[in-house]
Amino acid sequence: MDRHLIALDLDGTLLNDDKIISNRTLETIKAAKEAGHIVAIATGRPFRVSRQFYEQMALDTPIVNMNGALIHHPKKKNWDHLHSPLPKNVAYDIIDTCYDVGVQNILAEIMDQVYIEFNNNHSITDFFQVGLDSPAIFGNMKTNLADDPSSVLIHPFDDRVNQIRQILTDRHQSIIDHRKWGAPFHVIEVIRSDMHKAVGVHKIAKYYDIPKERIIAFGDEDNDFEMIDYAGVGVAMGNGITELKNLANEITNTNHRDGVAEFLETYLNLPKPALTKK
């Protein structure tokens, strides 16, 4: 069989509801690699909180982080990486919007440096500090944020999500893209416009000389739209949002029922692992 590129979202897709890769899925990914296929991660997470899964799958491929704001190769420092931050003045205006509307928290990332406005909800602040080489910087974002950020993340109150997103669209539609994360944290992520997972998947496919029709992409949320639409085989998870399912070429089982493994085993004619559950 011809070599395929398998592009994997993490949360709600590769990871099950316990935020781990199941034994069956891990073995199927291993079988896909042994068959000569290329496996790559395309996630909204920064690298520091996706590294463990990259290493668990023993990958040696480029990775798409921050929904395309950072595309790099962890094993090849001289690889043609792409980092596309937000203009700092736009970030400041987004922060002002958050102040005006009222939010639970505001966070920003410059590569792997994290800035956090409020030290209040420790479940979310702890998550964003995983794997940091230097401590997160807490306090007034406009005072602390000195450079163009890779992304700005807004933790809104549930009843103000649509209001904030509409303001962001009205003020900065030509400059930014904003996406909503799913569980466990309902966060609005803001990145530079035209930077999305499909940009990274295209770059990786070109690097390995894999045509579009042999790209298989898996996703579940609205930050997967462009990637699913771009891929020759766009696969929505059974737990995915309706809009993504309507866009996808295929729908597989849910993330908690090994949907990625189930699809790859059939589509790529891979052996089903003897051990399917832990």
Number of Cβ within a 10 Å radius of residue 143: 9
User: What 3-state DSSP class applies to 99?
Assistant: helix
38-60 pLDDT tens trace:
999 999 888 988 999 999 999 99
Of the chain, the percentage scoring pLDDT greater than 90 comes to 73
Q: CATH fold of 88-192, please?
A: 3.30.1240
Confidence of residue 212 (pLDDT cuts 50, 70, 90): very high
pLDDT confidence of residue 71: 96
Of the chain, the percentage scoring pLDDT greater than 70 comes to 96
pLDDT confidence of residue 275: 67
Number of Cβ within a 10 Å radius of residue 75: 12
Question: In sequence order, which residues have a C-beta less than 8 Å from that of residue 32 and are 6 or more positions away?
Answer: 6, 39, 264, 268, 270
Q: Which two tokens stand for residue 182?
A: 């799913």
Whether 194 is catalytic is no
Tell which residue, 255, 258, 259, has the closest CA to residue 17. Answer: 255
Confidence of residue 184 (pLDDT cuts 50, 70, 90): low
**Residue labelled with tokens 């509409």:** 166
On the CB side of 130, how many CA atoms lie within 13 Å of its CA? 14
User: What 3-state DSSP class applies to 66?
Assistant: helix
pLDDT confidence of residue 187: 86
Q: Is the CB of residue 151 less than 8 Å from the CB of residue 107?
A: no
Lowest mean pLDDT among 50-64, 92-106, 237-251: 92-106
64-84 pLDDT tens trace:
999 998 999 999 999 999 999
Q: Which segments of the chain belong to CATH 3.30.1240.10?
A: 88-192
Phi–psi pair at 222, nearest 5 degrees = -70, -15
Q: Is the CB of residue 234 less than 8 Å from the CB of residue 249?
A: yes
Element of type H or E holding 170: helix 161-172
* 196 phi-psi bin (left φ>0, alpha ψ -120 to 50, beta other): beta
Q: Does CATH number 3.40.50.800 belong to domain 5-83+195-267?
A: no
String of DSSP letters for 197-240: HHHHHHHHHHHTT--GGGEEEEE-SGGGHHHHHHSSEEEE-TTS
Helices 161-172 and 88-101, interaxial angle, to 10°?
Answer: 150
227-242 pLDDT tens trace:
999 999 999 999 999 9
186-198 pLDDT tens trace:
789 899 988 899 9
pLDDT confidence of residue 273: 84
**pTM of the predicted structure, to 2 decimals:** 0.87
Task: Please state, in angstroms and rounded to a whole number, the distance separating the CA atoms of residues 41 and 75.
Answer: 14
Task: Please state, in angstroms and rounded to a whole number, the distance separating the CA atoms of residues 3 and 159.
Answer: 46
Preceding omega of 85 cis (within 30 degrees of 0): no
118-176 pLDDT tens trace:
988 677 888 788 878 788 999 999 999 989 999 999 999 988 988 999 999 998 888 89
pLDDT confidence of residue 124: 80
Q: In what order do the strands lie in the sheet with 82-83?
A: 63-65, 70-72, 82-83
Confidence of residue 202 (pLDDT cuts 50, 70, 90): very high
Q: Which segments of the chain belong to CATH 3.40.50.1000?
A: 5-83+195-267
**Residue labelled with tokens 């933790």:** 155
- Say which of 9, 177, 220, 258 is annotated catalytic: 9
Cα torsion 208, 233, 54, 258: sign: negative
| Alpha helical stretches, state H, 8-77 | 23-34, 51-56
